[in-house]
């Protein structure tokens, strides 16, 4: 008899992902260079918008922790818009259901992604938007679990995890077994706005997705 479990409640640790799916962190320094090889120059207008996002974030944060919807409104939406993910050929969907089947044990893991950008069958960015107090380290296993549901496993899938003030990028690729690697963490705390790098990386991943879809 097939059993179904919610991803967000049952796949919370890297150990569980390794046991259930043999997911391992890559030991190859060249595995995830996409976040390093971004040469997308930002316009002055884009920089001004990113500076405004940072200012609004700190203004709203000054009185209280930011909830998920506030983070989406003042940080995620304008950032994704600048990256071009609301325009063709991308499709933006929210609360998308993801399902992973473990054939040997007749187990299904099912969950819903907070924000998902699709280019036909290629997943471009998976975003987990949690409260600002929520640790990125705790969100990463769940995000990787969602990414394991990639409908085109022959292609790499990229993700971004954010709590509004911090950002980290993830790459997952399934070959002999699923492997992943992480980027540096980018933060809104430094005076120099690291959203510049975040936007450059997002644009680069979008270009990779378009090229991959054309091949």
Q: Which residue has the higher pLDDT, 186 or 66?
A: 186
Q: What is the 3-state secondary structure (H, E, C) of 42-62?
A: CCHHHHHHHHHHHHHHHHHHC
Helical packing angle, 14-21 and 136-147, nearest 10°: 20
Is 0.85 topped by the overall pTM? yes
What are 200-211's pLDDT values in tens digits?
999 999 888 888
Residue with tokens 């600002």: 132
CA distance 207 to 124: 10
3-state secondary structure of 136: helix
Mean pLDDT calculated for residue range 171-178: 90
CA distance 187 to 75: 12
Domains, the chain, with CATH or none: 3-214 (3.90.1570)
CA distance 124 to 192: 27
| pLDDT-wise least confident of 77-81, 119-123, 211-215 | 119-123
């Amino acid at each position: 008899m097939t059993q179904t479990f919610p991803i967000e409640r049952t796949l919370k640790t890297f150990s569980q992902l390794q046991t259930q799916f043999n997911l391992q962190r890559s030991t190859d320094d060249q595995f995830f260079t996409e976040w390093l090889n971004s040469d997308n120059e930002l316009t002055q207008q884009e920089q001004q918008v990113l500076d405004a996002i940072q200012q609004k974030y700190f203004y709203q944060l000054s009185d209280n922790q930011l909830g998920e919807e506030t983070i989406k409104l003042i940080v995620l939406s304008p950032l994704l818009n600048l990256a071009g993910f609301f325009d063709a050929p991308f499709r933006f969907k929210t609360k998308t259901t993801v399902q992973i089947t473990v054939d040997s044990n007749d187990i299904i893991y099912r969950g819903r992604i907070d924000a998902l950008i699709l280019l036909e069958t290629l997943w471009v960015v998976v975003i987990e938007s949690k409260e600002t107090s929520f640790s990125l380290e705790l969100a990463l296993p769940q995000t990787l679990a969602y990414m394991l549901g990639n409908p085109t496993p022959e292609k790499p899938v990229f993700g971004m995890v954010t709590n509004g003030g911090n950002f980290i990028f993830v790459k997952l690729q399934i070959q002999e077994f699923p492997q992943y690697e992480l980027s540096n963490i980018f933060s809104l705390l430094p005076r120099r706005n690291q959203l510049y790098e975040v936007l450059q990386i997002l644009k680069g991943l979008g270009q990779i997705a378009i090229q991959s879809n054309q091949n």
